[in-house]
Structure 1
Amino acid sequence: MATSEEATAAAIRDAYGAMSGMYLEHIEEQFSRQTYDLALLSVFADLVRGTGTVADIGCGPGHVTAHLDRLGVPAFGIDLTPEFIGLARAAYPELRFETGTMLDLRPHISESSVAGALGWYSLIHLPPAQVPLALAEFHRVLAPGGHLLLGFQSTAAGAASEPVPFDHKVTPGWLWPVDTFADALTAAGFTISLRSLREPGPDYRRHQGYLLAVREG
Structure 2
Amino acid sequence: MTADFLSATRTFYDTIASDYADHFRAEFVNRPVERAVLGLFAELVGVGGEVADLGCGPGRVTARLAGLGLSVFGLDLSESMLAIARRENPELRFVQGSMLELEAEVADGTLDGVLCWYSSIHTPDDRLPELFAQFRRVLRPGGHLLLAFQVGDVARRLEDPWGHPVTLDFLRRRPEQMTGLLADAGFTLYSNTVREAHTELGETSPQAFLIAVAPSSDAP
TM superposition score normalised by structure 1 = 0.91
Change (3 A) 1:51 1:145: farther
- RMSD in angstroms over aligned alpha carbons? 1.5
Structure 1 counterpart of 2:41, from 34, 37, 44: 44
Of 108-117 and 202-211, more deviation after overlay is shown by: 202-211
- Deviation, 1:50, is 3.1
- Deviation, 1:181, is 0.6
User: How far apart, CA to CA, are the structure 2 residues paired with 1:13 and 1:200?
Assistant: 27
User: How far apart, CA to CA, are the structure 1 residues paired with 2:30 and 2:151?
Assistant: 20
Q: Report if aligned partners of 1:51, 1:115 keep a CA contact under 8 Å in 2.
A: no
The equivalent residue for 2:204 is 205
Matches within 5 A, 1:70-81: 70-81=67-78
Q: Quick check: 1:191 aligned with 2:181?
A: no
The equivalent residue for 1:68 is 65
Q: Report if aligned partners of 1:77, 1:98 keep a CA contact under 8 Å in 2.
A: yes
Of 201-210 and 182-191, more deviation after overlay is shown by: 201-210
User: How far apart, CA to CA, are the structure 2 residues paired with 1:75 and 1:147?
Assistant: 13
User: How far apart, CA to CA, are the structure 2 residues paired with 1:103 and 1:51?
Assistant: 25
Q: Gapped runs of 5+ residues in structure 2?
A: 162-166
Structure 2 counterpart of 1:12, from 6, 9, 14: 9
Q: Quick check: 1:171 aligned with 2:168?
A: yes
User: How far apart, CA to CA, are the structure 1 residues paired with 2:42 and 2:133?
Assistant: 22
- Identity %, equivalent residues: 38
The equivalent residue for 1:215 is 214
Q: Quick check: 1:136 aligned with 2:133?
A: yes
**Length, aligned pairs only:** 207
User: How far apart, CA to CA, are the structure 1 residues paired with 2:184 and 2:156?
Assistant: 25
Q: Report if aligned partners of 2:48, 2:71 keep a CA contact under 8 Å in 1.
A: no
The equivalent residue for 2:114 is 117
User: How far apart, CA to CA, are the structure 1 residues paired with 2:154 and 2:181?
Assistant: 15
Q: Report if aligned partners of 2:11, 2:78 keep a CA contact under 8 Å in 1.
A: yes
User: How far apart, CA to CA, are the structure 1 residues paired with 2:77 and 2:12?
Assistant: 11
Q: Report if aligned partners of 1:178, 1:196 keep a CA contact under 8 Å in 2.
A: no
Runs of 4+, deviation exceeding 4 Å: none
User: How far apart, CA to CA, are the structure 2 residues paired with 1:190 and 1:75?
Assistant: 21
Q: Give the match's secondary structure for 1:16.
A: helix
Q: Gapped runs of 5+ residues in structure 1?
A: 156-162
The equivalent residue for 2:99 is 102
User: How far apart, CA to CA, are the structure 2 residues paired with 1:200 and 1:147?
Assistant: 26
- Deviation, 1:85, is 1.0
Q: Give the match's secondary structure for 1:106.
A: coil
The equivalent residue for 2:178 is 181
Of 163-172 and 130-139, more deviation after overlay is shown by: 163-172
Matching residue's letter, 1:41: L
